[in-house]
A and B are shown apart, each in its own frame.
Chain A
Amino acid sequence: MRNKPVKKIAIISIIGSLLMISQVIDGCKASQMVSNKTGAQLWAENCQRCHNTPSPNSFSPEQWETIGLHMQSRSLITDEERTKIVAFLKQ
């Protein structure tokens, strides 16, 4: 289709620009890998991407196990993130 190359270039340009901007923003801070983060830290960072951070008292430990799987499939957090966040919420 005649507009296809333009659309692809536009999308790629937008993504590339955002990547460069993000590296500039983040470049001055010390990066921290997921493995170095606590469950509480991961909970605060990842849950608020979509919704308000839930209170650990909102559900039982068993419910958090189930909700953790559901949230991982929605937000595509890593396996390690899900394990740490659920462990924190179950405390």
Chain B
Amino acid sequence: MSPTKTIIKWIIFPLGSLISINITEAQQTTIVDSALLERVSVLEQQIASQKPGESHFMVAGLATFGFVTNTTTTTSGGISQKAKTNSFPDVDHFEFSPLFLWRHGSKFLLEFEPSFDGTSLGVNWADVSYFVAPGLILRAGFLVTPFGTYSKRLAAGWIDKLPTDPTGVADYPPTSDFGFEAEGGFPIGSMKWNYDVSLTNGLQLLPDGELQSVGVVDNNKNKTVTARLGLLPISNSSLEIGVSGMFGTVGDANSPYENAKSQSYAADLNYVKLFNPILVNIKGQYNYTFVNDQNYINPGDSSVYTFDNKTTSGFAQISLRPTGAGAAFVKNLELAFRYGRYITPEKSLWGQKSDIIDVSLDYWLSWRTVLKIGYQSNKSTSTAIENSGDETKSESLFIQFAIQL
């Protein structure tokens, strides 16, 4: 073969082939890039049409359900009677409460939380808040009164470390009411203060002396003031202490009780600190309520009677969680203990002294999902005008699942 033919065969021909292949690939790449660019452009337009506007709506909330078995022994006049029940779910420990949140810009927030407890559909709160300025939030509507912290911050099933609420704190007046509120928090050096003040319709004094807050229609021209001051004295916010007061006229206008006034006081404490590997969580609240001296009506026989109308309730709670443990299963366990004391007016129709002990072992499936196995012992002695001295001992075992929606 001649040198020319050799060059053509071994150099030029392969080189030409190589060049033609690259030209073909480049053309194909150009075609692919064009299609890709067009697709990216379409996606960008779709994303742009989805960008957030001024308003945002979301649903959160909570659900709590489970099983409870109970044995109650009542002793009256030396004779004891025992009753056993179990249910799923027990009316006091089931809750389905979706929380509807609607935000407009960064200033307005609407909150609505209906609640189904197994027997009735109610409303926990329905209000609108205006974030006026740093340290000032104004709220109006059906709001949780700022008395203590349990009802406003700790009552949700996925937050409460135990399957039960502290007796006389979560369910005793005051709870939610119609009115207006101002609140806020601000730093002072390395500490923080917060305040919460509300003006609401208030409680209602019933003729037998009970204070009622649920289903109350405004019964007089006076309004009730509730206020709480909180202090976080440690710079890492591990400790908060607070004091609350609630003052108002509670009697129906133009009734024998039109001058009846109630005063309530509360002190609360919250301490959460990691002492590696154990997260220590301490909570407590003490409530005291009294009504000035009145003559009440016994609905049983319409007789007139009186008593020192004061109620005290409180709880102290501690929970321990080994968040620093190596094993994931151990890390998600939490042991909680609570002691509660509830004393209602002596010589009233519902007078009693109760000591309540709760213990629970929790397993956190996630930060907002928990399975609790709990035990409660409730020992109560009647101080009522009738059946004084009767004793009631109740023991309950709970299995409860709670989730934040």
Contact = CB atoms under 8 A, between A and B. Distances in A.
Most chain B C-beta atoms within 10 Å of own C-beta, residue among A7, A50, A75: A50
Interface residues of B, number: 59
A15 interface: yes
A49 B263 contact: no
Contacts of B243: 11, 15
Interface in A1-16: 1, 3-4, 7-8, 11, 14-15
A4 to B, nearest CB: 8
B300 interface: no
A29 B236 CA distance: 11
A23 interface: yes
B267 interface: yes
A49 B290 contact: no
Interface residues of A, number: 48
Most chain B C-beta atoms within 10 Å of own C-beta, residue among A7, A55, A76: A76
Interface string A51-81: 1111100100011011101101111111111
Nearest to A53: B367
Nearest to A25: B234
Contacts of B101: 66-67, 70
Given A65-B103, A73-B139, A78-B187, A48 B265 contact: no
B183 A45 contact: no
A52 B272 CA distance: 11
B190 A52 contact: no
Contacts of B290: 1, 3
A33 B265 contact: no
Contacts, number: 133
Given A73-B109, A73-B129, A78-B186, A62 B52 contact: yes
B316 to A, nearest CB: 13
Given A1-B263, A70-B109, A26 B187 contact: no
Contacts of A50: 153-154, 159, 270
A66 B237 contact: no
A54 B158 CA distance: 12
9 cross-chain pairs, A with B, having the tightest CB-CB distances, nearest first: A31-B190, A76-B194, A79-B134, A76-B185, A52-B367, A22-B233, A66-B103, A69-B109, A26-B234
20 contacts: A7-B265, A15-B241, A19-B233, A22-B233, A35-B187, A48-B279, A51-B159, A52-B367, A53-B367, A54-B368, A58-B367, A58-B368, A63-B56, A65-B103, A66-B58, A69-B106, A70-B101, A76-B196, A78-B185, A78-B192
Given A33-B189, A78-B187, 13 more contacts: A3-B290, A25-B234, A32-B236, A49-B238, A51-B158, A52-B364, A54-B367, A54-B368, A58-B368, A65-B103, A69-B106, A74-B152, A76-B184
